[in-house]
């Protein structure tokens, strides 16, 4: 009998991606053939994001695109959008099953043969009646292990070490769709890392909603800490690099920075969300630090690791961000030894405290401020990369090939473009940096 085909699309963060891979593994175990999302399929699984208004819109467009490709396919929608607005998702034509945060890991408990029922109709225009299983987020206390170690991409794996968030940032919907902060034991994650190593991966990226909160929440093992996890992972044989995906500045302690600086495996790279360089805006955002504290963290990283790459998230156009506040934020960011920025325009989300704040910023102004900070990011990345021209860097070469070039990353998160040589894929190679192009360094593998 011909195997059914399933395709996956994961929106938003790397945590979503890791969880999608976990669900994919269960489909494979049950005999499904996994195909690319652009190919015809019998089942589509879409793992959604809801951080911004556009994320919801993107989800709807992807569902429609899938059904144009395979009109009679069975469509499963899960993830943060599905948890936050399950009834809204269920109204999208073509959706058959909506699963919440807890239910996504129990998918096969809710469906058998993935065939549209008669009452569902088909793409000819009949009305759909999607089934919805999305419980209260207060009931989501299990961890739900996930890693993105798949057999056809043995370079970097994303290992989920934490989920949920106990913070209450005024603009954020994540606690409402991800639940409380929770994490498994260190022993469990070390075993997961060993299993990933056995499959040939060289780098593991530690991912989560609030990674720095590992071990400390109500539903975690309070005897554990992120520093304790890092120390235990260091001893995992076969993994040559560990990378922390993102960590809040108030949770990036001096002890963690010291450990990474002396580690032979942990990448000299930190992504430290900033969100704004104006203290009054940080206060309205309910962030747990001010600009002085943020600068202290960044400077301490650079003091111990002068070559470290440091990235930051920034939100522009938050309610009440005046022209003067944006200019101070820009000047603060410009003064920091950051190597790149991820810039976002503020997107009001229903049910958040920020949605009711006065001082809304015109969307055109938000777009302009985003452009200004993205230009600053380009300049910072260029200058950071340029200082390594003429130097030999250790690069983990990935399988990606584009226009006859292959790519990889240094420990401090410089993306390097090289001539294709399959012998170096999934190897950490010595690469001479010969130039800089846009956001990428150009390198030559030393044979």
**Spatial contact of 305 and 261, defined as CB atoms under 8 Å apart:** yes
Cβ–Cβ under 8 Å, residues 212 and 251? yes
Nearest Cα to Cα of residue 316 among 278, 344, 336, 295: 344
Same domain, 321 and 425: no
Question: pLDDT (tens digit, 9 = 90+) per residue, 134-182?
Answer: 766 665 555 555 555 444 456 888 898 988 888 989 999 888 888 888 8
Q: How far apart are CA 211 and CA 183, in angstroms?
A: 9
Starting at the earlier edge strand, list the strands of the sheet with 309-316: 269-271, 309-316, 340-345
Q: DSSP state, 127?
A: P
Please say whether the beta carbons of 265 and 242 come within 8 A. yes
Instruction: Count structural domains, the chain.
Output: 4
Domain boundary pick from 89, 105, 137: 137
Amino acid 220: pLDDT: 47
Using an 8 Å Cβ cutoff, are 292 and 268 in contact?
no
- Please tell me the distance from the alpha carbon of residue 107 to that of residue 97, in angstroms, as a whole number: 9
- Neighbour count for residue 324 (Cβ, 10 Å): 9
Tell me the two tokens of residue 202: 């060289």
Do 160 and 115 lie in a common domain? no
What's the CATH code of the domain at 191?
3.30.750.210
- Nearest one of 378, 396, 384, 369 to 339, comparing CA atoms: 384
Are 43 and 8 a contacting pair, CB within 8 Å?
A: no
Could you tell me if 133 and 145 lie in one domain? no
Q: Do residue 333 and residue 288 come from a single domain?
A: yes
Report the C-alpha gap between 162 and 11 in whole angstroms: 18
116 and 39 co-located in one domain: yes
Q: Are residues 153 and 215 in the same domain?
A: yes
pLDDT digit string, tens, across residues 33-61: 999 888 889 999 998 887 666 766 787 88
- Taking the C-alpha atoms of residue 114 and residue 107, their distance in angstroms, rounded to an integer, is 11
379 & 418 share domain: no
Q: What integer pLDDT is reported at residue 155 of this predicted model?
A: 80
Which of 102-106, 110-114, 124-128, 400-404 is predicted least confidently? 124-128
Q: Are residues 220 and 124 in the same domain?
A: no
Give strand pairing partners of 45.
8, 76
Q: Would you state the torsion angle of the CA atoms of residues 345, 351, 356, 361, taken in this order, to the nearest 10 degrees?
A: 10
Nearest to 400 by CA among 428, 426, 381: 426
pLDDT band at 20 (very low <50, low <70, confident <90, very high): confident
Q: Give me the mean pLDDT over the 194-223 stretch.
A: 81
Calculate helix-pair angle for 186-198, 226-233, nearest 10 degrees: 30
Q: pLDDT, tens digit, for every residue of 278-336? A: 999 999 999 999 999 999 999 999 999 999 999 999 999 999 999 999 999 999 999 99
Mean pLDDT of the chain: 87
Q: What is the mean pLDDT of residues 212-218?
A: 74
By three-state DSSP, how is residue 235 classified? coil
- Residue-range definition of the domain harbouring residue 329: 272-387
Same domain, 22 and 120: yes
Domain at 294, CATH number: 3.30.750.200
Structure token digits, residue 289? 């630090």
What 8-state DSSP symbol labels residue 322?
-
Beta pairing partners, 431: 393, 445
Residues 280, 349 share a domain: yes
Q: Mark whether 10 and 87 lie in a shared domain.
A: yes
Model confidence at 217: pLDDT above 80: no
pTM: 0.83
d(CA 11, CA 45): 11
Nearest to 192 by CA among 223, 149, 225: 149
pLDDT of res. 364: 96
Give the whole-angstrom CA distance, residue 445 versus residue 447: 6
CATH number of the structural domain spanning residue 429 = 2.40.50.140
Q: What does the alpha-carbon distance between residue 416 and residue 420 come to, in Å, rounded to a whole number?
A: 12
Residue 157 in 3-state DSSP?
strand
Structure tokens at 89: 């998702």
CATH code for position 60: 3.40.50.12160
Task: Single out the residue in 137, 165, 199 at which a domain terminates.
Answer: 137
Same domain? 28 vs 126: yes
Q: Is 433 helix (H, G, I), strand (E, B) or coil?
A: strand
Residue that terminates a domain, selected from 233, 267, 301 = 267
- Give the strand order in the sheet containing 74-79: 33-35, 5-10, 43-48, 74-79, 97-99, 131-133
Mean pLDDT: which of 47-51, 150-154, 387-391, 399-403 is highest?
387-391
Non-local (6+) Cβ contacts of 364 within 8 A are none
């Amino acid at each position: 009998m011909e195997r059914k085909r399933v395709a996956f699309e994961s929106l938003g963060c790397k945590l979503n991606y890791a969880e999608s891979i976990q669900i994919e593994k269960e489909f494979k175990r049950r005999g499904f053939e996994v195909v690319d999302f652009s190919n015809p399929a019998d089942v589509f699984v879409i793992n959604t994001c809801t951080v911004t208004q556009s994320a919801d819109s993107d989800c709807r467009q992807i569902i429609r695109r899938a059904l144009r490709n395979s009109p009679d396919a069975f469509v499963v929608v899960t993830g943060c959008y599905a948890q936050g607005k399950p009834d809204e998702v269920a109204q999208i034509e073509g959706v058959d099953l909506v699963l919440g945060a807890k239910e996504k890991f129990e998918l096969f408990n809710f469906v058998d043969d993935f065939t549209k029922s008669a009452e569902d109709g088909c793409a000819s225009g009949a009305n759909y009646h999607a089934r919805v299983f999305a419980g209260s987020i207060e009931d989501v206390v299990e961890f739900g292990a996930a890693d993105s170690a798949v057999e056809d991409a043995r370079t970097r794996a994303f290992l989920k070490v934490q989920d949920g968030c106990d913070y209450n940032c005024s603009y954020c919907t994540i606690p409402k769709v991800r639940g409380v902060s929770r994490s498994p034991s260190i022993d469990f994650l070390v075993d997961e890392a060993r299993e990933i190593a056995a499959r040939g991966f060289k780098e593991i990226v530690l991912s989560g909603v609030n990674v720095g909160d590992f071990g400390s929440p109500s539903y975690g093992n309070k005897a554990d800490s992120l520093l304790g996890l890092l120390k235990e992972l260091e001893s995992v044989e076969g993994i040559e690099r560990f990378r922390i995906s993102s960590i809040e500045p108030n949770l990036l302690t001096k002890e963690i920075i010291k450990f990474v600086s002396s580690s032979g495996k942990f990448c000299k790279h930190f992504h430290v969300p900033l969100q704004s360089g104006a203290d009054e805006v940080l206060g309205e955002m309910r962030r747990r630090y001010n600009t002085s504290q943020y600068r202290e963290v960044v400077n301490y990283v650079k003091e111990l690791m002068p070559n470290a790459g440091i990235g930051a998230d920034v939100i522009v156009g938050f309610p009440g961000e005046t022209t003067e506040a944006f200019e101070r934020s820009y000047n603060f960011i410009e003064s920091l030894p950051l190597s790149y920025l991820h810039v976002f325009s503020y997107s009001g989300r229903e049910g958040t405290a920020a949605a009711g704040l006065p001082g809304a910023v015109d969307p055109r102004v938000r777009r302009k401020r985003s452009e200004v900070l993205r230009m600053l990011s380009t300049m910072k990345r260029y200058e950071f990369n340029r200082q390594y021209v003429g130097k030999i860097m250790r690069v983990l070469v990935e399988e990606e090939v584009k226009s006859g070039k292959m790519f990889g990353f240094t420990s401090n998160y410089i993306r390097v473009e090289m001539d294709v040589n399959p012998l170096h894929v999934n190897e950490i190679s010595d690469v001479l940096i010969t130039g800089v192009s846009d956001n990428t360094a150009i390198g030559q593998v030393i044979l």
